[in-house]
Amino acid sequence: MTRFSILIPIYNRLQITRQGLSALSKAIDRYGATGQGKCQFDIVVIDDGSTDGSSGWIAENYPSVHLLQGTGDLWWSGATNLGARYALEQLNSDYILLWNDDIAPDDSYFLEVEKVFSYHDFSRTVIGSKIVLTSTGKTWSIGGYFTKWGKYGMYNDPGGNSKDFFECDWLPGMGTFVPASVMKDKKIYWNEKQFPQYHGDSDFTLRCKENGFEVKTCLNLIIHNASENSRPGGHKNLKALWWSLTSMRSNYNFKKRLTFYNQHGVLPFSYWGLAQAYTSFIGYFFKRHIFKIPKKNTGFFDLSKAK
């Protein structure tokens, strides 16, 4: 039997966590009722110091969940490391499955997992899922790319006639299967010091690839993501722009992204891509939020289109 540990870092959003655990548990129960029993799925929740009663609610309603406690300063990468070490040392897991509390698997997701992992040896491969936006039904991720010129973004969905597996450079931190050999043999973990939040996922999978592991997305493994739960709200002004460039909670934190480019890019060529990314981001911000110019459907400022 192949054993999977599903790692879910959480922090102070109990309502979302309730919905996410419900959807995940139902899908696992469905697998238990209709699958062949070749896989075992353990849920490991890492609560990084929530004050909204999340841990108590989980312990009461999902007693089979492995509940770990953080100190409030783990962030995503630190919480994932804590969960991964627990899964390997205490549960003897064969694979780690990265998960979010705001995603829901397709009804047949775990049946498909059993099918995929029963017929392939992925001990040297990191496997991602196809992520679809709940709000629009459009594909958000099938994996990303990072080139020597510093082009950093996500591939477009190749469509229905594509092969089952899609090769990529990096994968996001949800719906991603990591074989135990990555941590046990190569001692590769998530870089919680340099990338505690954003870029922790892409940095990890790029290092896996640099160490000889394949990185692929299985297009038959589909999960649904409520991406609006991860977007910061508030008024869009110059203060918000400064927040975007400096906050640990922002994908455009300049210091973290510069570190990422320094580690994975071919210098100085990759700085060209870095300059393009920030020119597009800041230009888009001023155009939409400062000058209030309506968005045109050109895709020019959509970094996911760049390649």
Q: What percentage of the chain exceeds 70 in pLDDT?
A: 92
Higher-confidence position of 119 and 102: 102
Say whether pLDDT at 102 is over 90: yes
Q: What is the pLDDT of residues 253-263, one digit of tens each?
A: 999 999 999 99
Say whether pLDDT at 296 is over 90: no
Say whether pLDDT at 298 is over 50: no
> What are the chain's domains?
2-230 (3.90.550.60), 238-305 (no CATH)
d(CA 128, CA 172): 8
